[in-house]
Amino acid sequence: MLSVRSNKTLRGVGKKGVLKGKGLKLEGDNIIIQNVHITELNAQYVWGGDAIFLGGINNRALKNIWIDHVKISRVGRQMFVSGFDGVESITISNSDFDGRSD
């Protein structure tokens, strides 16, 4: 998984914003993920991989997370996973979650 820390924007430009075989681990506040396609996370295995893990910070929920125009396809496990700390404020908008796998 690729770690994304506080006060970061991960924005894909055109059709080049594709993450193949890697998911994202959000570990901070004020994070924007926009125009990204997450795909091919071991879709052939039932427990193959998570697309976006919302990890929390030092036993505290994440705040101000925006997931916009994100496509998730061909993942082996879950599209979104929240750790024990959870998320206090998240917006998911204009996104496409394709649940098909191999």
State pLDDT tens for residues 48-89: 678 999 987 888 899 999 999 999 999 878 899 888 888 899
Average pLDDT over residues 26-32: 95
Contact 52, 33 (CB under 8 A): yes
Residue 59's nearest CA partner among 84, 31, 89 is 84
Residue 43 predicted with pLDDT over 70:
no
Contact 33, 25 (CB under 8 A): no
Instruction: Domain of residue 70: give its range.
Output: 2-97
Residue 3's DSSP bridge partners are: 25
Share of the chain above pLDDT 90, in %: 61
Domain presence at residue 53: yes
Domain presence at residue 102: no
How many domains, the chain? 1
What CATH number does residue 32 fall under?
2.160.20
- Cα–Cα distance between 86 and 61 in angstroms, integer? 5
Quote the pTM value: 0.88
